[in-house]
Amino acid sequence: MRLAFFGDVVGAPGRTAVTEHLPRLRRQLDLDFVVVNGENAAGGFGLTGAIADQFFEAGADCLTLGDHAWDQREMLNHIERDQRIIRPVNYPDIATAPGRGAHLFALPDGRRVGVVQILGNVFMRQAMDNPFEAANAALEELALGQVSDALIVDMHCEATSEKMAMGHHCDGRASLVVGSHTHVPTADAMILAGGTAYQTDAGMCGDYDSVIGMRKDISLYRFETQLPGERYQPALGDGTLCGTYVETNDATGLATRIEMIRIGGRLSTALPG
């Protein structure tokens, strides 16, 4: 199976990068399933139903969220209506959290893809249930090779150590563990010892002439003065589409290949050969 995961979409440049490049890329790479993290797509804060529909029309099969899941209040209801949108699986009171944190998708040919999103705890603004225990429950529910033919884990967190630990924790039980949230693509795309593809952060889809997607002047003022300044706003230059491409063995669901994707904007281009 051929899978792709695209990192946090930030504002209008990120949305444009997805809608302009994803349709062609889906055809070019003959992708079977595409996940896009959309939690910063609406002006840098959250996701709306209208923007979600744009991503689905462009070729996304699943959208993940993160710590900004509910910044756009409409998502509290919209996520209940659209099962293709996933929020973190490890909310402390899972019975009251809208939507779902893990879902099994059926492809037209009958193959099944499981998607899980987990929110880390290290340096994050909200305390969540133990992400490693939540991963165990989700991976058991969507068991690779039994319930799902491929399984993607979006580890949304700040600390690279927590992301790497999750990769090893899921090794052999997931097709791909990929990090999101920190908005900078890492150069460590690899296949772990147990056959799980891993990358610490897929990188954001947005304007890299910025501070993690936000206007430089606003971020610099806050760092230089230690004052709150004005509200963060996305930078509005040319966007880069950043993501991860993975091929799996249909017999096992484990990865046979992982490559980085970068198209457009300021970063150097990277595409699977």
Size of the chain in residues: 273
Beta bridge partners of 2: 247
Under 8 Å between Cβ of 139 and 131: no
DSSP string covering 113-138: EEEEEEE--TT-SS--S-HHHHHHHH
Based on the residue annotation, tell me whether 183 is a catalytic residue of this protein. Answer: no
Point out the catalytic residue in the list 68, 78, 103, 156.
68
The token pair at 267 is 């970063």
CA distance 248 to 189: 15
Q: Which long-range contacts (CB under 8 A, 24 or more apart) does 132-138 make?
A: 132/165, 132/166, 132/169, 133/90, 134/89, 134/90, 134/101, 135/166, 135/169, 135/170, 137/89, 138/89, 138/101, 138/102
Helix (H) or strand (E) holding 17, with range, is: helix 11-28
**Active-site annotation, residues:** 68
